[in-house]
Amino acid sequence: MSKEILNLEPKEVWKHFYELTQIPRPSKKEEKVIAFMKEFGERLGLETIVDEVGNVIIRKPATPGMENRKGVILQGHLDMVPQKNNDVDHDFKKDPIDAYVDGEWVTAKGTTLGADNGIGVAAAMAVLESKDLQHGPVEALFTIDEETGMTGAFGLKPDVLQGEILINLDSEDEGELYVGCAGGTNANLFYKYKEEAVPAGHVGYKISLTGLKGGHSGVDIALERGNANKLLNRVLWTAARAYGIRIADMKGGDLRNAIPREAYAVVTVPEDNSEAFVKYIAEMEQVLRDELSSADPGVTVAAERTETPATVMDTASQEKILDALYASPHGVIRMSTDMEGLVETSNNVAVVRMSNGTFEELCLLRSSVDTAREDLKNVFSSIASLAGGEVTFDGEYPGWKPNMASPILKEMREIYNNRFGKIPEIKAIHAGLECGLLGGVYPGLDMISFGPTIRYPHSPDEKVNIASVQKFWDFLVETLKHVPEKA
């Protein structure tokens, strides 16, 4: 593990980010980082609270002369998305992240970096540790499990926080201030099937669809990258009709908020059709490469002869399931007509898997319009009904409606313009920032979100721009210095 990032500026931020890379913290496995943050706050002699769900709250008094300023809550999440390349040996529950400097960026060797939201957390830690920054009362709220359900924000009690302004440090484009975000819902589709003996004369093949970039299922959804689950289903749908394949196993993706990069199937095919089937797979690889030549040129599709499985899915169920998965929408459903370039509604066909007679399709539906999200839920209810399956919805969280009259927005626009000579862009994001939930628990909060430039979060290509971290830190420091006085 290289320590070269410790030499980057601002050192006070990169120091804490490096510490976070050494602590395993995948979503729902945050015990070590919770303990680390608790020890950090107590070592500084600051009031430190770990609530019943695992969120960590650390309070720092105002610096002399700033006691009458409005209290600021610096908010970020402790967990990170655990994604790695198939050829990388890494256990996110125990191994540190191997971060390194790559030109103008910091990235990791074959895994997600955890800059989402490690840089934001590190900046809040630097504020808490600093002895020379000017600021009013500060609370740092470090939530858990943001990436797979926002259970930390869901579990926050309404009588814990004391501040009037919440600054979320989880945005991913320096020079932009975010004032709104999409809400989301999990869709879970279940289809029953019967296991049958493999037909006589069939041989086994493993189909692998790999090499896609993946990415954040909200932020990157408009990039038109390939979805491994949808592409593999397309391959199998035609192969079933043209070559008589039977499916023994199918799986792809592992996280709701990551566009699936790889998917696999074990199938059988009549031996007489095997040569034509293998040729078809090679042809489909070229078709997909041509279609995705700009967005996802690395896609590969391979057929490897394997041991013939013991059983396969019954024909009737296979046909219905492949049809249902084909009909499931993925990607951008509608663009916003209120804010140029903003995705309004989307879906990610995130996970497919089968075992013990049940085929599962797990999706993440996002929209900044609640009624549009309900309409998309109806689409999946209809698909499940037509295919003889069942659907459930859970994990719903609200969006964050922009408040263009926000006092902190006005203040930060002026600060940025004075500091950097330009007015920052005001945007909403097609992702589930915790501001939506926190604003529901604390309806009086004046909220805003900003951060450094991070690219390809939720994928092994994740990277953070070094220069943007310095600007992000300078902007945060200036903002804390100029927070208005209490009314």
User: pLDDT, tens digit, for every residue of 137-174?
Assistant: 999 999 999 998 899 999 999 999 999 999 999 999 99
Contacts of 132 (CB under 8 A, 6+ apart): none
Instruction: Indicate whether 206 pLDDT > 60.
Output: yes
pLDDT in tens, 346-365: 999 999 999 999 999 999 99
User: CB atoms < 10 A from the CB of 104, how many?
Assistant: 11
Which one of the listed residues 139, 146, 170, 446 is annotated catalytic?
Answer: 146
Domains and CATH numbers, the chain: 4-182+399-481 (3.40.630.10), 185-397 (3.30.70.360)
**pLDDT surpassing 60 at residue 451:** yes
pLDDT in tens, 401-442: 889 999 999 999 999 999 999 999 999 999 888 999 999 899
Q: What is the b/e burial string over 249-284, where b = at least 16 CB atoms within 10 angstroms of the residue's CB?
A: bbbbbebbbbbbbbbebbbbbbeebbeebbebbeeb
> What sign does the dihedral 182-82-253-360 (CA atoms) show?
negative
Tokens read off for 63? 């610096």
Q: 30, 79, 116, 262: which is the annotated catalytic residue?
A: 79
Interhelix angle 466-481/11-21, rounded to 10 degrees, is: 120
Average pLDDT estimate for 310-314: 97
**Can you tell me the distance from the alpha carbon of 465 to that of 154, in angstroms, rounded to the nearest whole number?**
31
Enter the tokens of residue 266.
Answer: 């074990």
Indicate whether 487 pLDDT > 90.
Answer: no
- pLDDT classification of 275: cutoffs 50, 70, 90: very high
Token code pair at residue 56: 């960590």
- What integer best gives the mean pLDDT of the chain? 96
Distance of CA 434 to the CA centre of its chain: 12
- The answer to whether 79 is a known catalytic residue is yes
Residue 227: band (very low, low, confident or very high) from pLDDT cuts 50, 70, 90: very high
Confidence of residue 399 (pLDDT cuts 50, 70, 90): confident
Convert the pLDDT of each residue in 313-331 to its tens digit. 999 999 999 999 999 999 9
Regarding beta strands 463-465 and 105-108, do their DSSP bridges make them parallel or antiparallel, or are they unpaired?
A: antiparallel
pLDDT classification of 2: cutoffs 50, 70, 90: low
Is residue 283 annotated as a catalytic residue, yes or no? no
